[in-house]
Amino acid sequence: MTVYVDDMNMRADVPNGARTVRGIWSHMFADTREELDAMADTIGLRRSWIQYPGTHREHYDVTKSRRAAALRAGAVELPIRSPEWMALRKRKRAEYGMEPRP
């Protein structure tokens, strides 16, 4: 079982209460929710920040510095357009009973 970070590297300003977090953002996702939450705890993310919880799309958005922290903590870099990324997304869709995309 593994935690992954992609290489989306999208510039964005994200509201967080009274402040805005400016950064370069990627996704952190995992084989299981338990692994994903454990890594979030390790790198200092709030569990309430999870995106699409309980679905095949569940992930955390991570800034460049949190992405680097996840990699140092053992996450695996998975390029967003790689065959491995596509296979993982297909497997996650199947786990949640979703039809494969054409």
The total of other beta-carbon atoms located within 10 Å of residue 72's CB is 10
**Tokens 């494969």 label which residue?**
100
pLDDT by residue (tens digit) across 40-80?
A: 999 999 999 999 999 999 999 999 999 999 999 999 999 99
Does residue 99 carry a pLDDT above 80? no
Between CA 93 and CA 40 the distance in angstroms is 22
Within 10 angstroms of residue 25's Cβ, the number of other Cβ atoms is: 19
Distance, C-alpha 46 to centroid of its chain: 13
- Cα 83 to Cα 20: distance, rounded to the nearest angstrom: 34
Q: State mean pLDDT over 17-29.
A: 93
For the chain, the farthest-separated pair of C-alpha atoms sits apart, in whole angstroms, at: 42
How many C-beta atoms surround the C-beta of residue 70 within 10 A? 24
pLDDT in the model for residue 98 = 77
Q: What proportion of the chain, given as a percentage, has pLDDT over 70?
A: 95
pLDDT of residue 102: 59
